[in-house]
Structure 1
Amino acid sequence: MFIKLTTSKKSKFTKVYLVEGYRDKTGKSKQRTIKKYGNLEELEAKDPNILEKLKFEAKNMKKNEVVITHNLLKANSEQETDKNYGYFFLDNIYKSLEIAEFIKKYKFEKNFKYDLDEILRLLTFSRILNPMSKKATVAHQDEYFKEFNVALKSVYKSLSNLSEIKIDLQNHLNKKVSETYGRDTSLVFYDVTNYYFETEIEDDLKKKGPSKEKKSTPIVQMGLLIDSNGLPIAYDLFPGNTHDSSTLIPFIKNMRKQYNFGRVILTADKGLNSGKNLAYLKSKNDGYIVSQKIRGTSKAFMDEVLSDEGYACNPNGTFKIKSFFRERETKDENGEKIILKEKVVCFWSKNFDDREKHKREKLEERITTYLESPSKYKSSNSYGIKKYLKLQNLDKKTGEIKDIEPYIEFDEEKYKRDVSLDGYYTIVTSELDLNNEEVIKKYRGLWKIEESFRVLKTDLEGRPVYVKNQDHIEGHFLVCFIALLISRILEMKLDNKYSIRRIQETLKNATCRKIGNGLYSLNKQNDVFRDIEKLFDVSLNYSKVRIEQLRNWKKELSYNTKKQNTKPDKY
């Protein structure tokens, strides 16, 4: 038997038939239709892999098996729904972190009658595979091969419990990551972002402030610390009106209380390199590598950066680099004076310069427009160029105030100075013995934390935040943190060959469907899934398996179970 597709000029649809070949009495080869399945376009809308499944079934089908194939096309209301088994791998990592054991031993302030570990597993796996609201997550909990039994009321209550264990669980996770996967904290990365809420109501945590997404609703600030492998170490939440630079000292203080770290070198962008922050790190014998803005600094500093003396250039002249040492005075958090001895690495890149010059083309067009038509500038909101332009009403010759005919003063000298700095970048470090290339390499690792925020916000859909109570908010972000950690561990174990987005999509599409008598049809998986299987030393590269084999395959992935590549029988 085989699948036959037909199209006609009158219809835009492709018809799908189950056809059997046979020979008539004269021995001539003929075909007869056994079953009509319908339009291919409609079938694929329900199941993108249906054609491949039907072809496989038809190829291996006997006459009495037509009913099994028919089951593939029943409406969801008439048959089992697709069950995800891709979460098996996530469950393996979850178990390796011994979260269930931690919850079991933790002494909660209040007793509860629900399974907190089961709820956390559901929320974590769903946050990775199919992020949605808590209510929707509970509504779709039957879409996993191992059925969860979680009530929505219990989920909201559990968020308060998760808030309670926030600090201790992070400490536990750090220890398990160090023991199981290795953790290098000699170089760490810290950054801050914020998440907005779908509410106008403020409280002690939800405050209006400068939103990264330009939202006017309340936000919450999150400080995140990751290691050199990109694995999250810790996070903390701050009120939305807290300035980024004001989060670092309290964050590091709390981290020091919880984690037994040695000396660390902290890497951050220029928004966090206040003198107070750097003085604090220095006073604790820690180090730092931070970016340093050039524009707006002292004339002496800008002159040093622009001076050709000391620069080493590459052969084609597209990159040059130099460094110099400096001492500067600042104040610590107590107002005490402290001297910082630093190395400043300066470099110029033609690519960076070209990008800056390209941006200036539009800037210069607007400057010309405003100089010619001051009234347009008066009504504009162009903060990017206001440092170069000043609206005047005073006639310089007569001293007369001219409200009707204002004019614009253009600070051409300042503009030319800024243009001369295009393409330059500076990094400041307390590590005086590092060479220039090492400083740049270590600083460039900061992209890992920027990507982590993107993953949290986009791939894991950590925002907007819909829960409102502070303990529920804390619980929500703990789930997001665990989901990020598990995703990063899997990404690292795959040698960073695939993005978290691809891994997510691959595991989400790893589904099976019951087709009768304990038999399951598996969606065809891609090369990413095959690599994940190799990583965990298992294989399920078949179109159909029995339920017992799926269960055994899951057991093979259990933590502390000896991995054996036992392949299921082929059907």
Structure 2
Amino acid sequence: MNLKVSKRKTGRTYLSIVKNYRDKKTGQSRTSSVKSLGYLDELEKQYEDPIAHFKEVARKMTEEEKKKRKFTLNIDMDEELEPESDGRKNFGYAAILKVYHELGLNRFFNNKARNEDFKFNTNSIMLLLVISRLLSPGSKKKAFEQKDRYFERFNFSLTDIYRGLSHFSKVARDCQRYLHEQVVENYGSNTETIYYDVTNFYFEIDQADEMRKFGKSKEHRHNPLVQMGLAMDADGIPLHYELFPGNKLDKETFRSVIGAVRKNYDTGRIVVVADMGVITGDNIYYLTGGKNRNGYVFSFSIRGGTEAFKEYVLDQAGYVGSHGKPVTEDDEFKIKSRRIAREINVTMRSGKTAKKVVYEKQVVFWARKYADKARAEREELVKKAYELVADP
């Protein structure tokens, strides 16, 4: 710290103690006032030499500040950790933290909680849940129990986490749209192609309720389920999701989720890629009918096709290998395609069914590795069937 002697417009001299520092943003040297002393002519009435006196005061203040910065750390080199103790900290989550702040999630959750009467920090809770989900997936309870693995100050209870879930559910739609905007701004997003899939979550409860209902489990479990329809952009970045009762069929979730994507995410024309679970005339017409000119790439079961389609698949004419030439017996892969007009059944607003014509490109392919895998799976099922017959 230094004594600053300033000449005022009135001709009088003013004394103050100042401190020099470097601006973190610009890197330039700055000066801040620490203590205002007064005019020199008035100070001369109290001190024989005010300038010399306050230079010494500034020097002592600098020494005192340096002393405050120092600390002594004593380490017992023979000390041992207690059994079962764990003093390790995770530093790898710093990469997650960087992306979390780049996306402005801290700003979003702090703003959403501004008018709420919470006794806990919702952004801090969400940060822990995100880190835990990426590094050590588990329950909310497990995430809370492992919170001391990180350098963050997570000052909340497990009960606070559970209370915060209702708030997160309330702002989920806004969060999804906000996240997409941030992804577009920071990294860019390709929404010309939309990937759509449905999964479900099971609950270990005895009785189903309004949302958790018995349905077809992806893990073949006999528990009440909740369905989730998820739409992703061309890079596999999630755009939008919705939850449905567990007995909702995959095909019945399609229009709700894709409709929200088209409405809220400024997508323009899209091509939706999905598996055969969403194939219905209604879903296809929803994308292509009327003024809609969207596209789709849906997988399709040969077994469920028409006789004409099966004949086309089994007819070896038109197949080419990965080299683009007609196939031989040694080829590991073959493919062919055609454009065709196909009739589909569409449910009208009146509830009646009408036939509509769609023009689509059908692509058929065969791969030896996939065929060998399918054959092995069939043989395993046959083997189990014989064993069951022999020993019921």
Deviation at 1:107, TM superposition (A): 7.3
Deviation at 1:66, TM superposition (A): 12
Question: Is this contact kept in 2: 1:279–1:331, CA < 8 A?
Answer: no
Deviation at 1:68, TM superposition (A): 4.8
Q: 2:370 aligned to 322, 338, 352, which one? A: 352
Q: 1:337 aligned to 324, 349, 355, which one? A: 355
Deviation at 1:94, TM superposition (A): 0.4
Look up the equivalent residue of 1:324 and give its one-letter code: R
Residue of structure 1 in register with 2:118 after alignment = 112
Look up the equivalent residue of 2:144 and give its one-letter code: V
Residue of structure 1 in register with 2:52 after alignment = none
Residue of structure 1 in register with 2:300 after alignment = 292
Residue of structure 2 in register with 1:75 after alignment = 82
Question: Is this contact kept in 2: 1:280–1:332, CA < 8 A?
Answer: no
Deviation at 1:333, TM superposition (A): 4.1
The alignment status of 1:305 with 2:313, answered yes or no, reads yes
Write out per-residue CA displacement over residues 115-155 of structure 1, whole angstroms, 9 at most, x where no aligned residue: 11111111111222223322332233222112211122221
Question: C-alpha distance in 1, partners of 2:284/2:115?
Answer: 38
Question: C-alpha distance in 1, partners of 2:268/2:102?
Answer: 25
SS of the residue corresponding to residue 332 of structure 1 reads: strand
Structure 1 residues 82, 295: CA separation in 2 closer, same or farther (over 3 Å shift)? same
Deviation at 1:111, TM superposition (A): 3.3
Residue of structure 1 in register with 2:146 after alignment = 140
Question: Is this contact kept in 2: 1:209–1:240, CA < 8 A?
Answer: yes
Residue of structure 2 in register with 1:242 after alignment = 248
SS of the residue corresponding to residue 292 of structure 1 reads: coil
SS of the residue corresponding to residue 194 of structure 1 reads: strand
Residue of structure 1 in register with 2:22 after alignment = none
Residue of structure 1 in register with 2:168 after alignment = 162
**Pairing 1:358-377 to 2, within 5 Å after superposition:** 358-362=376-380, 376=389
Point out the more displaced range, 170-179 or 123-132: 123-132
Percent identical residues = 36
Write out per-residue CA displacement over residues 346-396 of structure 1, whole angstroms, 9 at most, x where no aligned residue: 1222222222333444556678x59xxxx949x98xxxxxxxxxxxxxxxx
Structure 1 residues 364, 166: CA separation in 2 closer, same or farther (over 3 Å shift)? closer
Residue of structure 2 in register with 1:464 after alignment = none
Question: C-alpha distance in 1, partners of 2:273/2:155?
Answer: 44
The normalised TM-score by structure 2 is 0.72
Structure 1 residues 280, 144: CA separation in 2 closer, same or farther (over 3 Å shift)? same
Structure 1 residues 273, 172: CA separation in 2 closer, same or farther (over 3 Å shift)? same
Residue of structure 1 in register with 2:336 after alignment = 322
Question: C-alpha distance in 2, partners of 1:363/1:131?
Answer: 33
C-alpha RMSD of matched pairs (Å)? 2.8
Deviation at 1:201, TM superposition (A): 2.6
Point out the more displaced range, 104-113 or 264-273: 104-113
Look up the equivalent residue of 2:297 and give its one-letter code: I
Question: C-alpha distance in 2, partners of 1:342/1:121?
Answer: 46
SS of the residue corresponding to residue 84 of structure 1 reads: coil
Q: Say which one has the larger Rg.
A: 2
SS of the residue corresponding to residue 312 of structure 1 reads: coil
Stretches of structure 1 lacking an aligned partner (at least 5 in a row): 1-64, 381-571
Stretches of structure 2 lacking an aligned partner (at least 5 in a row): 1-72, 322-326
Q: 2:103 aligned to 97, 106, 113, which one? A: 97
Question: Is this contact kept in 1: 2:333–2:367, CA < 8 A?
Answer: yes
Question: Is this contact kept in 2: 1:208–1:240, CA < 8 A?
Answer: yes
SS of the residue corresponding to residue 120 of structure 2 reads: coil
Question: C-alpha distance in 1, partners of 2:113/2:146?
Answer: 31
Residue of structure 2 in register with 1:254 after alignment = 260
Question: Is this contact kept in 2: 1:280–1:333, CA < 8 A?
Answer: no
Question: Is this contact kept in 1: 2:110–2:122, CA < 8 A?
Answer: no
Question: Is this contact kept in 2: 1:138–1:150, CA < 8 A?
Answer: no
Point out the more displaced range, 160-169 or 197-206: 197-206
The alignment status of 1:175 with 2:193, answered yes or no, reads no
Structure 1 residues 159, 362: CA separation in 2 closer, same or farther (over 3 Å shift)? closer
Aligned residues: 308
Question: Is this contact kept in 2: 1:202–1:208, CA < 8 A?
Answer: yes
Look up the equivalent residue of 1:311 and give its one-letter code: Y
Structure 1 residues 366, 106: CA separation in 2 closer, same or farther (over 3 Å shift)? closer
SS of the residue corresponding to residue 234 of structure 1 reads: strand
**Pairing 1:49-88 to 2, within 5 Å after superposition:** 68-71=76-79, 73-75=80-82, 81-88=87-94
Question: C-alpha distance in 2, partners of 1:341/1:328?
Answer: 6
Question: C-alpha distance in 1, partners of 2:105/2:378?
Answer: 52
